[in-house]
Amino acid sequence: MSKLRRLLLALACTLALPALAQQPPPAEPPAPVNWSTLSPQQQQLLSRFGAQWNSLPPERQQALARGTERWISMSGAQRDQARERFHRWNALPPEQRQALRGRWQTFKSLPPEERAAVRQNFHRFQQLPPERRQMLREQWRNASPQQRAQMIEHARQSRGTPGAIAPHPAPTRPPAPHHP
């Protein structure tokens, strides 16, 4: 996973702490998905799960069904990209995959406006020149936890959005003395 994504996931986790403390009670358990309700194309894509489908947890059934719907709607190029991401994911050490799953769950627990702000900042970050992105990554990586907290607070204040993430400004020099 790229350093940028790790950075954004770390920031998302930091922003999610207040939301995690106030989570509502769990919703009703998900309903199982009957194999017969899947389209023939979905059944073909999920054929390796066919014999054990009824023993899968309903959450897993729903996730697999949604995944096949997304796959079916993708273009060839999008499917190639998805395959590449899947191969990169499988190449990660199990500990790193587990950490990323945790960060993803934290991101998903954010209020919608904070998730939108994180996504917006991710896209804004992607538009920066590579040198600027690298400088910001190093600035974040080298910051202490206290400095990171200050950077996040500064970002929230400067953007006026609860979950907005902005780079911490470079240290400013005192104004030069004015000579009339």
* pLDDT score for 109: 94
Q: d(Cα 127, Cα 121) in Å, to the nearest integer?
A: 10
Q: Is 142 a member of any domain?
A: yes
Question: Given this model, what pLDDT does residue 151 score?
Answer: 86
What is the pLDDT, as a whole number, of residue 155?
77
| Chain-centre distance for alpha carbon 89 | 14
At 125-162, the pLDDT tens digits run: 899 999 999 999 999 999 999 999 998 888 777 765 54
For the stretch 38-55, pLDDT in tens is: 999 999 999 999 999 999
**C-alpha torsion angle, residues 74, 60, 15, 89 (rounded to 10):** -60
Task: With H, G, I as helix, E, B as strand and everything else as coil, classify residue 169.
Answer: coil
Domain-located, residue 121: yes
Q: How many domains does the chain have?
A: 1
CA distance 96 to 93: 5
Residue 101 domain-assigned (yes or no):
yes
Looking at every residue in the chain, the average pLDDT score rounds to 81
The verdict on residue 98 lying in a domain is yes
DSSP readout, 136-155? Answer: HHHHHHHS-HHHHHHHHHHH
Q: Which of the pair, 6 or 75, is modelled with greater confidence?
A: 75
Question: Cα 127 from chain centroid?
Answer: 18
Residue bearing the bigger pLDDT, 167 or 116: 116
In a domain, 41, yes or no: no
Output the pLDDT for position 153. Answer: 85
Q: Evaluate whether 125 touches 8 at the Cβ level (below 8 Å).
A: yes
Domain assignment of residue 15, given as a range: 3-19+55-159
Report pLDDT for 158.
Answer: 72
